[in-house]
Amino acid sequence: MLEIEVKELRKEYDGFTAVDSLNFEIEKGEIFGIVGPNGAGKTTTLKMLSGLIVPTRGSITVNGMDIRKGARRIKQKLGFLPEESPLYEGMTAKDYLMFFAQLYGIEKALASDRIRELLSALRLDAADKRIGEMSKGMQRKVAIARALINDPEYLVLDEMTSGLDPTTSKYLADFVAGLKKQGKTVVFSAHNLYQVESLCDRVLMMNRGKEVACGTMAQIKRKCGAVQYTIEFSANDAFDFEAVRNNGHFRASTNNIEEFNRITGWVAKHNGNIIDIKTVETSLEEIFLKLMG
């Protein structure tokens, strides 16, 4: 089921084009990643998806509703996490979240239950600790809980794990994966391409405001990457393909599946011994570096 549709999206600032003619769709319950170098237009795109800034041209519809006309209703169903998210450091996590729950008009008893569930799910056991006394990882968890306090249907997360230690980063990534299982739609940007590759159903790659590639991991790798086939073998006869000696055996590699089949056929025909076969796909990081020059 289609949840978000973006057509010819463009944003200009005083003659500078930050986002240029983006077109993509996001399905309900999908995790959609946006990646690109600094200045690619990721944050601007996320702010437009959240109704925080108005596009210069183009359209965004959420559940069939134009975000220009229904921004208020859409925001009631939205959770937004900016990259830099200042918190009220003098408040405790519990009071801070209750404050935002009241802004959404959530009844106090329901808000208390929701806060307790969120703090438990995020393993944030410092509900009565002042936010200013918390670590950066704990503060990020509070910010994520704030984005979820209204039980949103879709979330927009800008650099969710930026600057966090690997353990906290991994936990938050797993937490987002769990939100998908709840049927929530998640759109997020990240510089951690391994995280993007492991989490996302589809990815939009941007550079200088434009789309560079968009699709599932398989589609992007098929279009922009390559597969390397490697066979390690032993043989007594001379062979008619390129191979290198490796620990007393031979190793041959190729990006062509037909050539790979020819090599394995030769080894079998000449009574050779196949020791190992590996298939390695180009990683998202390698594709990213290639496309971004």
pLDDT tens digits, residue range 261-281? 999 988 888 888 899 998 888
The phi and psi torsions of 13 (rounded to 5 degrees) equal: -130, 110
For residue 19, with 0-12 CB atoms within 10 Å meaning exposed, 13-18 middle and 19 or more buried, which class applies?
A: buried
pLDDT at 1 (0 to 100): 58
CA distance 200 to 177: 9
CA distance 184 to 165: 26
pLDDT tens digits, residue range 208-247? 999 999 999 888 888 888 788 999 998 887 778 888 887 7
HEC sequence for the chain: CEEEEEEEEEEEECCEEEEEEEEEEEECCCEEEEECCCCCCHHHHHHHHCCCCCCCEEEEEECCEECCCCHHHHHHCEEEECCCCCCCCCCEHHHHHHHHHHHCCCCHHHHHHHHHHHHHHCCCCCCCCEHHHCCHHHHHHHHHHHHHCCCCCEEEEECCCCCCCHHHHHHHHHHHHHHHHCCCEEEEECCCHHHHHHHCCEEEEEECCEEEEEECHHHHHHHHCCEEEEEEEECCCCCCCCCEEECCEEEEEECCHHHHHHHHHHHHHCCCEEEEEEEEECCHHHHHHHHCC
pLDDT at 202 (0 to 100): 94
The phi and psi torsions of 14 (rounded to 5 degrees) equal: 50, 50
pLDDT tens digits, residue range 5-23? 999 999 999 889 999 999 9
pLDDT in tens, the chain (293 residues): 568 999 999 999 988 999 999 999 999 999 999 999 999 999 999 999 999 999 999 999 998 889 888 888 888 889 999 988 889 999 999 999 999 999 999 999 999 999 999 999 998 888 788 999 999 899 999 999 999 999 999 999 999 888 788 888 888 889 999 988 899 999 999 888 888 988 999 999 999 999 999 999 888 888 888 788 999 998 887 778 888 887 778 888 888 889 999 999 888 888 888 999 988 888 888 888 888 87
CA distance 120 to 27: 29
pTM: 0.82
Give CA 26 to chain center in angstroms. 13
- What domains does the chain contain, in order, with CATH numbers? 2-222 (3.40.50.300), 226-291 (3.30.1490)
pLDDT at 210 (0 to 100): 94
